[in-house]
Amino acid sequence: MSQNQKTWFITGASKGIGLALVRTLLESGANVVATSRTLASLVNLIGPASDTFLPVEVDLVDERSVRAGIAQAISRFGRIDVVVNNAGYGLQGTIEGISDEELRRNFDVNMFAPAHVLRHALPHMRQQRSGHVFNVGSIAGFQGGYAGWGIYAATKFALAGLTEALAAEVAEFGIKVTLVYPGPVRTEFLSSGSLVVAQRNLPEYTAAQALLDVHLDEMAGKQAGDPAKLASMIIQAADTSKPPLHLFAGKIANDLALQKLAAVKKDLTTWREISDATDYPD
């Protein structure tokens, strides 16, 4: 099935990667269901509902709202071929400083919301015996050594684990799964309206503060990644017969992933003999 015959369900569609993906798909003639917290934001940026476009207001942390959004998609187009769990936000703050409420909210949006979408979209894909799920993670969910970004990284590591297990679960139904690891992308991610900074500031953590300053003062608005090109890569992956499970996006993401793999290999090699000795003897 070509892209202009598929129905896509995309969360976080009013900005960044999600918005670029919706616009590119609509230009190609695909059916697109786009979700956001407010219907007005979608209509203002993309336009009203049409033969190929359905904007839907969904609160992703409310499972009842997600269920209703999936139902609207099925009612309108009869099927869902591609799910893109793109919605999420950054949380900056030290592990010691972040409150329980801030921690749980980040997991609600970045981890539990995608699980809500999958829980209600997968039955339709399983019945179709086809489909493709894209979960948009982050290079911070693979190479997580960023002071002050521990909780955000934890949400993306959790999403990575869910995605890998999902791929093993749904392969027998003809459903494909891809985890996208973007590096820094030139979106609103580092803007004041998208990035949440923990209320409790602990100045003793100078490494965390220094990294935040770099992100806000030097990187914001200058990120290397192009959201339109990333969107095109996702579409290309959806159109191939053997898509990757792990899809890194951008030179920075690729370089950091290789550095992480090298570091893990070094630790494995250094400690292999000692580690192997912790097993019971044969």
- Give the DSSP H or E segment for 178: strand 175-182
Higher pLDDT, 219 or 63: 63
Beta bridge partners of 34: 10, 55
Single pTM value for the model: 0.92
Q: What is the distance between the alpha carbons of residues 164 and 133, in angstroms, rounded to a whole number?
A: 11
How does pLDDT run across 165-194, given as a tens digit for each residue? 999 999 999 999 999 999 876 666 655 556
Distance of CA 257 to the CA centre of its chain: 17
11 closest CA partner among 29, 36, 31, 30: 36
The catalytic residue among 152, 181, 205, 280 is 152
Active site residue 205: no
pLDDT tops 90 at residue 282: no
How does pLDDT run across 128-160, given as a tens digit for each residue? 999 999 999 999 999 998 888 899 999 999 999
How does pLDDT run across 21-75, given as a tens digit for each residue? 999 999 999 999 999 999 999 999 999 999 999 999 999 999 999 999 999 999 9
Burial grade of 265 (CB within 10 A; 0-12, 13-18, 19 or more): exposed
At 116 the pLDDT is: 98
At 15 the pLDDT is: 87
Q: Residues of the chain with pLDDT > 70: what percent?
A: 90
Contact yes or no for 175/118 (Cβ under 8 A):
no
Query: Which 3-state string (H, E, C) describes 104-128?
Result: HHHHHHHHHHHHHHHHHHHHHHHHH
At 82 the pLDDT is: 98
pLDDT tops 60 at residue 237: yes
Q: How confident is the model at residue 115 (pLDDT cuts 50, 70, 90)?
A: very high
Spell out the domains of the chain, with CATH numbers in brackets: 3-274 (3.40.50.720)
Contacts of 133 (CB under 8 A, 6+ apart): 82, 83, 85, 118, 121, 125, 163, 166, 170, 175, 176, 177, 178
